[in-house]
Structure 1
Amino acid sequence: MQNNSNKPKLDWDTLGFSYIKTDYRFIDRFKEGQWEEGALTTDNKLHISEGSPALHYGQQCFEGMKAYRTKDGTINIFRPFENAKRMRRSCERLLMPYYPEDAFVEAVKKVVKANEEFIPPYGTGSALYIRPFMIGVGDNIGLKPAEEYLFSIFVTPVGSYFKGGLKPSNFYVSTYDRAAPKGTGAAKVGGNYAASLLPGKEAKERQFSDAVYLDPATHTKIEEVGAANFFGITQEDTFITPQSPSILNSITKRSLMWLAENRLNMEVKEGDIYIDELDRFKEAGACGTAAVVSPIGGLQVENDFHVFYSENEVGPVTRALYNELTGIQFGDIKAPEGWIETVS
C-alpha cells in the first residue's frame, strides 16, 4: 500500500499521551445480523445517526494495546488475542455482537502495517497505541440494544501516560466510586471512565497524578488506580493485586503476575488489599497498557500520607518487573509463547 503521509515531524523522544492523526484506520459495520467485509479508510470522522444508542445509552466498548519497534526493525504487537477475548466479554456484557477474535487480530495487523511510519523507533521508549472500539448505531430512541454497530481501529504514536516515565507518582484515595457492585466495572466500557473524570480532576487539582478507588461495597479495600490496576509488593516479596468482580481484567497485570512468578520466582496472589494495612507493602504500583508500570511513591488517605518505597526512587522489584515486561515488548527479552504477534 502506498502511504502518502502528510504527518508532522515528530519528536519521538518527547511524545506524550495524546491523539496524533495517522493515515489509516479500519472500519467494519454490523447490519442485518452479520458483519460486512471491513476495510481501511483515511477518513477519521464517524458518520452516525443522531439516535445511535452509543450516544444516549452508552452502548459501546473499547480496547487499548500497543505495537513496538524492535532493535532489528521487527514490529511486535503485545498479546492482541487477549484484547480480542476481553473485548468479546465487554460486548457480551452490553448485548453487542462481538468481533471474531482471528478477524480482530488481523484487522489490528492491517492498521499497524498501514501506519508503519508512525511507529516510534527502537530506543525511544515510545510505542504505537492501538484503539479498537465498537459502538451501537442506527436510528433509535428507546432503551434497547442497537440493531447496527460500527467496529473500528485507529492508532496513534504515544510516549509515557504519566509525566516523567518510570518515576514514582503520588495518588489520592477518592471518596467516589469508579463502578457499582455487580455493575460494568469488569468490562472496558466508556461509562466507567466517564465516572472517573471528576475524581481524577479533583486529584490533579490537589497535585496528585490520579485518584485511587476503593471497593464500592465497603470502601475498605483498594480496587483501581485511575484507569489502571493496582499491585503491591509485600515485605516478604509477595506480589499481590486486588481481586474483585468490579475490576477490569488487565492484560498488563496478568502479564506481570506471570513474570513475577516465573521470571522473578515470587509468590503471587490475588486478594483483598485493605486501605488500613498499607504497611504490609514495601512497594506499590499502577499498571496497564497506557501506564505500563507506574511506581506509586505515596498515597494520600484522608489526612494521612503513606509513602511506600520512595517518593523519588523506583523500588527494585517494580523496576525488575518493568524491565522484564518492556524487554519482552521491545524484543530484547524472550517472550513466553503466544505473547507476541509480529507484523511483516
Structure 2
Amino acid sequence: MPTPPSVSAVRHNRTVDAQPLDWQNLGFNYIKTDLRYLSHWRDGAWDDGTLTEDNQLHISEGSTALHYGQQCFEGLKAYRAQDGSISLFRPDQNAARMQRSCARLLMPAVPTDKFIEACRQVVLANERFVPPYGTGGALYLRPYVIGVGDNIGVRSASEFIFGVFCIPVGAYFKGGLTPTNFMVSSYDRAAPNGTGAAKVGGNYAASLLANHEAKARHFADCIYLDPATHTKIEEVGAANFFAITRDGRRFVTPKSPSILESITKYSLLDIARDRLGLDVEEGDVYIDQLDQYSEAGACGTAAVITPIGGIQHGDHYHVFYSETDVGPVTRALYDELIGIQFGDRPAPDGWLVKVK
C-alpha cells in the first residue's frame, strides 16, 4: 500500500532541529511519536483506518472500556537490522492472540492483514524513532481495541476503536543479563475459567497491589500460583515462566487455561527444541519441587528473558543457577532469540515481516 498522505505532511511540518534521542539511555517510558493509527468499528464493520498526529482519544463518558473493562491490547516490536532494514517480529501471532482476546470480551476481531498493515504504517510513519542497530533498542508497538459509544448498561458496546501507537524503547538490561529475585504472592492473578488467557487490562489492574507489595519487600515482582490449588507456578508478574531441568536437557514451562500465551515463550520453545536440541514440555511446575531445576527465567516482549536468581515462598528461599551469574542455557536462549530479532541469525519462516 502507498504511504498515507499524512506521513509526508508530518515529516514536512516536523521541527527541523528537534532534539535527537539518547539511544543509549532509553528506558520503557512513554514518548510521543509522530503518528498513530486509528480505525473505528460501526454498523458491523471496520473502516479503512487512518494515521493521526493526535495522541488523545476522544470517547464517550459511557464507553464500556471505562466502566466494564471491555478492552484488550497487544505488545510487539520492530527491529532495525545491521543493513538498515526494519522488521516486525511475529506480528501474525500478536494478531491471532488479539483475536482470541476480542472473542473472550465480545468485541469484533481485527483481521490479521489489517492488524499487520496498521503496524506497518505506524512503523514507517515513525521510522526516525526506530533505534539504530547496535544500541539494543527497538520500536515497541501497542495495538489495542476498546469498546466506546454512549452506553450505560452491562452489555457489549455498539462501537469500537482499534488503535496502534509506538514508542522507542531501550535494551531492558543495562549492563547485560542480570538474575532477578521474586516472591510468591498470596493474590491470584486471574480466576479459574476467567480472563487469564486473554490480554485484557483487568488482569493487569489486579496485579498492581501484588507488585507493590513485592517491591516493598525488595523483590522485582511476584510469582502467581494457579488459582485453583495454589500449588503450581503460572506466571511471573506480567511474564511467562520457564525452567531448565538439572540435567540441562529439558525446557519446561507451565500450561494452564488461565495463563496468557506468550509469543516470546513459544518462540523460545521452538528455539530450545530446534536449535539447542532440548526436550521441551508444557506442564505442571510445582512450587514445592523447584529443586528439580537448575535455571529459571521470566519471558515476554519487553525483556525477552529475565533470569530468575531466586524465589521466596513462605519461609523458604530457593536459588537456581546463581543470584549473580546467568545460566548457560538461559544465555544461549537469549542470544539466539535476540540474534533472530535483529537479523543476525537466520529466522524461521514467517518470524520476521519486513517493513522496510
TM > 0.5 between the two?
Answer: yes
User: CA RMSD for the aligned pairs?
Assistant: 1.1
| Residue of structure 2 in register with 1:316 after alignment | 328
Which 10-residue stretch deviates more, 156-165 or 130-139? 156-165
Give, in whole Å, the separation in 1 of the partners of 2:326 and 2:154.
48
| Residue of structure 2 in register with 1:10 after alignment | 21
1:34 aligns with 2:45: yes
Unaligned runs of 5+ in 1: none
User: Given the alignment, which residue of 36, 50, 53 partners 2:61?
Assistant: 50
Give, in whole Å, the separation in 2 of the partners of 1:177 and 1:104.
32
Deviation track 1:209-258 (CA, whole Å, cap 9, x = no partner) reads: 11110000000000000000000000122000000000001100000000
SS at match of 2:181: strand
| Residue of structure 2 in register with 1:133 after alignment | 144
User: Given the alignment, which residue of 79, 104, 120 partners 1:93?
Assistant: 104
Deviation track 1:163-191 (CA, whole Å, cap 9, x = no partner) reads: 66521111111000000000000000000
Alignment of 1:106-117 (within 5 A): 106-117=117-128
Give, in whole Å, the separation in 2 of the partners of 1:49 and 1:334.
47
Give, in whole Å, the separation in 2 of the partners of 1:132 and 1:32.
22
Task: Tell me which amino acid in the other structure corresponds to 2:146.
Answer: I
Q: Is the 8 A contact 1:59 1:94 kept in 2?
A: yes
1:287 aligns with 2:283: no
| Residue of structure 2 in register with 1:197 after alignment | 208
Alignment of 1:170-185 (within 5 A): 170-185=181-196
Alignment of 1:327-338 (within 5 A): 327-338=339-350
Task: Tell me which amino acid in the other structure corresponds to 2:43.
Answer: E
User: Given the alignment, which residue of 279, 301, 306 partners 1:267?
Assistant: 279
Task: Tell me which amino acid in the other structure corresponds to 2:156.
Answer: P
Note closer, same or farther for the CA distance 1:232–1:51 as it changes in structure 2 (3 Å cut): same
| Residue of structure 1 in register with 2:4 after alignment | none
Q: Is the 8 A contact 2:264 2:300 kept in 1?
A: yes
Deviation at 1:8, TM superposition (A): 4.0
Task: Tell me which amino acid in the other structure corresponds to 1:70.
Answer: A
1:227 aligns with 2:227: no
Deviation track 1:53-103 (CA, whole Å, cap 9, x = no partner) reads: 000000000000000010010001100000001100000000000111111
Alignment of 1:240-259 (within 5 A): 240-259=252-271
Q: Give TM-score scaled by structure 2 length.
A: 0.95
Give, in whole Å, the separation in 1 of the partners of 2:337 and 2:329.
12
Deviation track 1:17-71 (CA, whole Å, cap 9, x = no partner) reads: 1111100000000011111110100000000000000000000000000000100
Q: Is the 8 A contact 1:137 1:150 kept in 2?
A: yes
Give, in whole Å, the separation in 2 of the partners of 1:277 and 1:106.
45
User: Given the alignment, which residue of 284, 287, 310 partners 1:298?
Assistant: 310
1:212 aligns with 2:212: no
| Residue of structure 1 in register with 2:179 after alignment | 168
Task: Tell me which amino acid in the other structure corresponds to 1:275.
Answer: I
Q: Give TM-score scaled by structure 1 length.
A: 0.98
| Residue of structure 2 in register with 1:20 after alignment | 31
Give, in whole Å, the separation in 2 of the partners of 1:232 and 1:8.
43
Q: Is the 8 A contact 1:228 1:291 kept in 2?
A: no
Task: Tell me which amino acid in the other structure corresponds to 1:191.
Answer: G
Task: Tell me which amino acid in the other structure corresponds to 1:253.
Answer: K
Deviation at 1:9, TM superposition (A): 2.7
SS at match of 2:350: coil
Q: Is the 8 A contact 2:135 2:171 kept in 1?
A: no
SS at match of 1:257: helix
Deviation track 1:120-176 (CA, whole Å, cap 9, x = no partner) reads: 111111111000000000001000000000000000011244666521111111000
Give, in whole Å, the separation in 2 of the partners of 1:288 and 1:8.
31
SS at match of 1:297: strand
| Residue of structure 2 in register with 1:158 after alignment | 169
Task: Tell me which amino acid in the other structure corresponds to 2:278.
Answer: M
Note closer, same or farther for the CA distance 1:105–1:323 as it changes in structure 2 (3 Å cut): same
SS at match of 2:99: helix
Give, in whole Å, the separation in 2 of the partners of 1:195 and 1:95.
21
Give, in whole Å, the separation in 1 of the partners of 2:196 and 2:156.
19
Which 10-residue stretch deviates more, 7-16 or 303-312? 7-16
Q: Is the 8 A contact 2:197 2:257 kept in 1?
A: yes
Task: Tell me which amino acid in the other structure corresponds to 1:172.
Answer: M
Unaligned runs of 5+ in 2: 1-6
Give, in whole Å, the separation in 1 of the partners of 2:252 and 2:33.
38
